[in-house]
Structure 1
Amino acid sequence: MHDQPATRPKIAISACLMGAEVRYNGGHKQSSLCSHTLTDYFDFIAVCPEVAIGLGIPREPIRLVGDPEVPQAVGSVNPQLNVTRPLIEFGEQMAAELDDICGYIFMHKSPSCGLERVKVYHANGASVQGSGRGLYAQAFCARHPDLPVEEDGRLNDPVLRENFLTRVFAYSNWQQLLQKGLTRHGLIEFHSRYKYLLMAHHPVQYKTLGNLLGNMGLTSVEELGPRYFSELMGALKKCATRRTHTNVLQHISGYLKRVISPEDKQEMQQVIGQYRHGIVPLVVPLTLLKHHFRQHPVPYIAQQIYLQPHPENLSLRNAIL
């Protein structure tokens, strides 16, 4: 199957998740997934915005206060401590500096790094209805709207973990394409490799993006490329389902119908059916398909990202039913 990126993608991460003792109480929130499992495949760049803007370790905790849409970050004991502006400015600064990362893993519920559902309070300490986003994370993400981002806790879900890392590798592949210089041919070739992955994640966008490239006419590739990529990343954010995976497996198995025996065809359909009914995980029909394509290579299928969107040793699809 196709090659993975030659260089390891870079992922920025909240420093406490890598075991750095940078939290307000001098502790950490080490994630074994990030600090052990994933370090073989990614180069992590650890960032703690609260320490970076000059707050000490240990320190008074901060919290979000006021309007959930535009909260202030203030000290939970001493509300005169207001670090709203420094956190936002540091987010903008790091967004400019970290322009070669392919993903970001944030610490959940953090007033600086949380992506969603961060508690917001009234000045008197009562909880505000609704929730906010960490100020650093919000400022950073506003500058990189297509960047794959996720919170540490959600990565414990095998479907969300696989989805995030699929997007990280897609982002990395696109960056490599841009480094070579984007051409019309290169864009169409890139899309061709992502067709079945797109079909699994978002069948409607699969057709929309196909039409976008099919009707590019005189539109310049400089104009079309960013629009295409933004829509691709938006589509991949939607998690593939058992139904959409089954549809793709059926499409791909169609390339074998003239070359494998009736018994093998029957087994293929049986295994895809078992996956569709939740009896076996996704890796089972995929392994059988890859076996047959090794015996009967089809160049178009060999280049499909769907069959191997991330390194096999990560075993990300083993837990996906």
Structure 2
Amino acid sequence: MEAFARPRVVVSKCLEFDACRYNGDVIYNDVIKKLMNYVDFVPVCPEVEIGLGTPRETIRIVKRGEEHLLLQPSTQRDVTHEMRLFSEGYLSGVIDTDGFILKTRSPSCGLKEVKVYASTEKGPAIGHSSGLFGGKVAERFSHLAIEEEGRLNNFTIRDRFYTKLFTLASFRKVLPIGLQAIKDFHSKNQFLFMAYSNPTLKVMNRILKNEDVNGEEKTIQLYAKMVHKLFNRAARNDSKRKVAYEIFKRFEPHLSQGEAAFFDELLQKYANKKEPFSSIATILKSHAIRFKDSEVLRQTFFAPYPEILLEISDSGKGRDY
């Protein structure tokens, strides 16, 4: 298979890149460290960018009426306006980007589960929200691959993030080449797209077939919208099983009853979450090699991102949503 496109990812600078945490620390992260060979990172620290310095007094989100303010309890400084101004300016300049990895629970960068307080005084949190910068990222770039570094310790979340990230990077790479390159991209991703949403895949097929009606430019615009829509949801367990069986049917006439029964058994174990999908993918790929099925072998379904990134380790933490 050809080399993977290299994604461009905006990342919180305190994660592996700079000692810019409020206490002057850098946070070491194995996921980001491993990605460095395959991703072009663009580090940013919103808190440093608005002049808070390093080290610095902590900031927190405080609810006043219906508004969330970003305050520094020790100084009573309100940096809400500065952070909003920076977020709008910085994000308006983000182009040719495929994703974001932001600091978990940060009042600036956090995407979810950021503590919200009733005041700057000591006391328990009264709720949770997104950070001011992270919230703007989610609002403006929901179609891209966006995650917090803490959640990427969860295998399912990490696998989903990598799949979306590298697929979007591949699409961005072929986009300026033209419609023929997009058709080849579509062909290689047929089974992967089917696993995410077969109805959306059918719409994508119709868009490409209607090139003569819509013209090349509009066809590309319509197709791009569907690519981003496709990844709004995760590939379901049952969808992946259906795709696997669809591929298996190509080889079934050439297999023994025992081989067919073994594959059915694997599918059932996967359905019961007693077998990883990688076992099924390995069997299918071995059949494709054995029967020299080049169409199946070129499918990204088997490896949507570099296999070296496939770590089966799982923290067991992080809600799968």
TM-score, with normalisation over the residues of structure 1?
0.86
1:313 is aligned to: 308
**2:23 partner amino acid:** N
Q: Is 1:152 equivalent to 2:152 in the alignment?
A: no
Q: Is 1:4 equivalent to 2:10 in the alignment?
A: no
Q: Structure 2 stretches of 5 or more lacking a match?
A: 317-321
Which residue, out of 283, 286, 294, partners 1:299? 294
| 8 Å contact from structure 1 (residues 92, 143) kept in 2 | no
CA distance in 2, matches of 1:68, 1:217: 55
How many residues end up aligned between the 2 structures? 314
**1:62 partner amino acid:** I
1:100 is aligned to: 96
| 8 Å contact from structure 1 (residues 107, 113) kept in 2 | yes
Which residue, out of 1, 19, 27, partners 1:29? 27
**1:29 partner amino acid:** I
Superposed counterparts of 1:193-272, under 5 Å? 193-215=188-210, 218-272=213-267
Which residue, out of 69, 72, 84, partners 1:72? 69
Runs of 4+ in 1 over 6 A off after TM superposition: 317-320
Q: CA deviation at 1:220?
A: 3.7
- More off after superposition, 302-311 vs 257-266: 257-266
Judged with a 3 Å threshold, the aligned counterparts in structure 2 of structure 1 residues 62 and 83 are, in CA distance, closer, same or farther, namely: same
Superposed counterparts of 1:34-73, under 5 Å? 34-35=32-33, 37-66=34-63, 70-73=67-70
Q: CA deviation at 1:153?
A: 1.4
Per-residue Cα deviation, 1:210-233 (whole angstroms, up to 9, x for no partner): 344445662244334344333323
Judged with a 3 Å threshold, the aligned counterparts in structure 2 of structure 1 residues 291 and 30 are, in CA distance, closer, same or farther, namely: same
CA distance in 2, matches of 1:263, 1:253: 14
Per-residue Cα deviation, 1:93-112 (whole angstroms, up to 9, x for no partner): 33344423321101111111
1:84 is aligned to: 80
Q: CA deviation at 1:14?
A: 0.8
SS at match of 1:150: strand
| 8 Å contact from structure 2 (residues 7, 40) kept in 1 | yes
Judged with a 3 Å threshold, the aligned counterparts in structure 2 of structure 1 residues 14 and 318 are, in CA distance, closer, same or farther, namely: closer
CA distance in 2, matches of 1:194, 1:67: 48
CA distance in 2, matches of 1:316, 1:217: 44
- More off after superposition, 148-157 vs 215-224: 215-224
1:116 is aligned to: 112
| 8 Å contact from structure 2 (residues 143, 228) kept in 1 | yes
**2:48 partner amino acid:** V
| 8 Å contact from structure 2 (residues 16, 28) kept in 1 | yes
| 8 Å contact from structure 1 (residues 18, 34) kept in 2 | yes
CA distance in 1, matches of 2:203, 2:260: 32
- More off after superposition, 286-295 vs 195-204: 195-204
TM-score, with normalisation over the residues of structure 2?
0.86
SS at match of 1:119: strand
**1:309 partner amino acid:** P
| 8 Å contact from structure 1 (residues 104, 149) kept in 2 | yes
Judged with a 3 Å threshold, the aligned counterparts in structure 2 of structure 1 residues 119 and 245 are, in CA distance, closer, same or farther, namely: same
SS at match of 1:291: helix
- More off after superposition, 168-177 vs 58-67: 58-67
CA distance in 2, matches of 1:67, 1:131: 14
After superposition, the CA RMSD in angstroms is 2.7
Q: CA deviation at 1:60?
A: 1.6
Judged with a 3 Å threshold, the aligned counterparts in structure 2 of structure 1 residues 273 and 104 are, in CA distance, closer, same or farther, namely: same
Q: CA deviation at 1:21?
A: 1.8
| 8 Å contact from structure 2 (residues 91, 137) kept in 1 | yes
1:165 is aligned to: 162
1:14 is aligned to: 12
**1:3 partner amino acid:** E
